[in-house]
Amino acid sequence: MTSGPGRVLVAVYGVFALAATARAAVQIATRFGEAPLAYLLSAFAAVVYILLTVALARGERRLALAACVVELSGVLIVGTLSLVDSAAFPHATVWSGYGAGYLFVPLVLPILGLFWLRRRAVVTRTGESD
Amino acid sequence: MIGAYSGWLIGAALLLALISLITAIRNRPMGIVLLAGLALIEVALLVQAGLAVTRLSDLEQETATFVGYLAGTVVIPPAAVWWGKAERTRWGPGVIAVAGFTVAVMTGRLLQLWNGTA
């Protein structure tokens, strides 16, 4: 299992995976018809967070890297769309307004994640250990 | 679920997060202070969950979400203790800081749901 600063990252991703999954499940189960697109996006975001939590915890770099890129694109695309065309996103998702409803953590996390993965890659190449 | 009680709980959780952060910056692993703090928060969270569940019928909306948040808050401190024991570096308290902040935010959401201002 990842140790050191990576643990904090795994903890934050774990919280987001739980929160996003629970939220999407409630939304889809109770009022899917109101905003199918927003709720499907919530579910998609939840899947990405679960993938990232597992990938980071198990040290699967390639999977974590791919998921981080998907997450960053997701938050940038959905964030921009929700500001430009707010009528299309009447119901908030985790990624609306670049994650403003979640203290912008959804925007900062993938950047931190990419930074962390990159740093680890350098450490591995030069043969140093933490 | 009483407003003032949960308010104090949010304050305590934020204080714990702050102490954890200072511990992490000072480069120390989890000590007895953080362990006791987490235990205290856990007891307070269990009391809050008990109070809220006995008065659940007062809640007008989002019962499923509310119960989900209650269950979530109770699980966090034990997870943080487990992690703090496993990671005997400054990053153990780093995780506990995240846990304290999460408990504060989730209790805040619970209050919003309870007051119907979500």
Nearest chain A residue to B86 by CA: give it.
A3
Looking at the complex, report in whole angstroms how far the Cα of residue A16 sits from the nearest Cα belonging to chain B. Answer: 10
User: CA A118, CA A28: separation in Å to the nearest integer?
Assistant: 36
Chain B CB contacts of A4 under 8 Å are 87, 89, 91
CA distances from A80 to A96, A102, B81 (A): 8, 16, 39
Q: Give the separation between CA B34 and CA B41, rounded to whole angstroms.
A: 10
- Inter-chain contact A7–B83, Cβ cutoff 8 Å? yes
Retrieve residue A70's tokens: 């998907």
CB atoms within 10 A of CB A22: 17
Instruction: Decide if A11 and B99 are in contact by the 8 Å CB cutoff.
Output: yes
For the stretch B57-67, pLDDT in tens is 877 777 888 88
What confidence tens digit (pLDDT) does each residue in B7-64 have? 999 999 999 999 999 999 999 999 999 999 999 999 999 999 999 988 888 777 778 8
pLDDT score, position A130: 47
- Tracing tokens 């043969």 back to the chain, one arrives at A127
Q: Do B83 and A11 touch (CB under 8 A)?
A: yes
Q: In degrees rounded to 5, what are phi and psi of residue B89?
A: -130, -170
Burial A68-101 (b: 16+ CB within 10 A, else e): bebbbebbeebbeebeeeeeebeebbbbbbbbee
Residue position matching structure tokens 């670049």: A98
Residue partners of A43: CB distance under 8 A and separation at least 6: A24, A28
Kindly report the three-state secondary structure assignment for every residue of chain B: CCHHHHHHHHHHHHHHHHHHHHHHHCCCCCCHHHHHHHHHHHHHHHHHHHHHHHCHHHCCCCHHHHHHHHHHHHHHHHHHHHHHHHCCCCHHHHHHHHHHHHHHHHHHHHHHHHHCCC
Each residue's pLDDT, cut to its tens digit, for chain A (130 residues) gives: 567 788 888 999 988 888 888 888 888 888 888 878 888 888 999 999 999 999 988 888 899 999 999 999 999 998 888 888 777 666 677 888 888 878 888 899 899 889 888 887 766 666 554 4
In 3D space, the residue among A92, A49, A43, A89 whose CA is nearest the CA of residue A67 turns out to be A49
> Is A36 an 8 Å CB contact of chain B?
no
Q: Which amino acid is at A95?
A: W
In this complex, which of A5, A15, A22 lies closest to B68 when CB atoms are compared? A22
Which one of A8, A30, A32 makes the best mutation probe of the B interface by having the most chain B beta carbons within 10 Å? A8
The answer to whether B35 faces chain A, any CB pair under 8 Å, is: no
